[in-house]
């Protein structure tokens, strides 16, 4: 039996951009919130691809969750079709809400 792969669209919402000023002692210069992304900004991944204008560093961190949701999977401990994740920039991480966009019947 042939399995058909369906990729649902996935919405990515910037929940919050954080800055940990106390960690500046470990780096050169000062940190500021990510300029490329804004709080509450939304993107839509189509075909499990990186949306235009999205940060490639953050995409590398959340892509596996987008793909899981796009293919109909769910992640343990989260409401079905949703997940919260972040990028791995320890000085100024960005939190994302990732949501499968369900087709309406």
Q: What is the pLDDT of residues 38-64, one digit of tens each?
A: 999 999 999 999 999 999 999 999 999
pLDDT for residue 102: 86
- Whether 16 is in a domain gets the answer yes
3-state secondary structure of 100: strand
Give the separation between CA 86 and CA 100, rounded to whole angstroms. Answer: 17
- Whether 5 is in a domain gets the answer no
Q: How many CA atoms lie within 13 A of 76 on its CB side?
A: 0
The pLDDT-based confidence of 105 (bands split at 50, 70, 90) is low
Going by the DSSP 8-state scheme, the letter that residue 51 receives in this structure is P
Count of residues making up the chain = 105
- Whether 17 is in a domain gets the answer yes
Q: How much is the average pLDDT of 84-90?
A: 94
pLDDT for residue 27: 87
For residue 37, the enclosing domain spans: 10-100
**pTM of this prediction?**
0.89
Q: Where are the alpha helices (DSSP H) in the chain?
A: 56-70
How many domains are there within the chain? 1
């Amino acid at each position: 039996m042939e399995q058909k792969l369906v990729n649902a669209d996935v919405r990515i919402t910037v929940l919050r951009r954080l800055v940990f000023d106390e960690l500046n002692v470990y780096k050169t210069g000062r940190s500021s919130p990510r300029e490329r992304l804004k709080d509450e900004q939304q993107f839509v991944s189509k075909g499990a691809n990186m949306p235009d204008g999205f940060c490639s560093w953050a995409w590398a961190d959340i892509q596996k969750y987008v793909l899981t949701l796009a293919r109909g999977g769910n992640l343990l401990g989260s409401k079905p079709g949703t997940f919260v994740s972040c990028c791995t920039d320890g000085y100024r991480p960005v939190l994302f809400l990732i949501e499968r966009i369900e087709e309406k019947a």
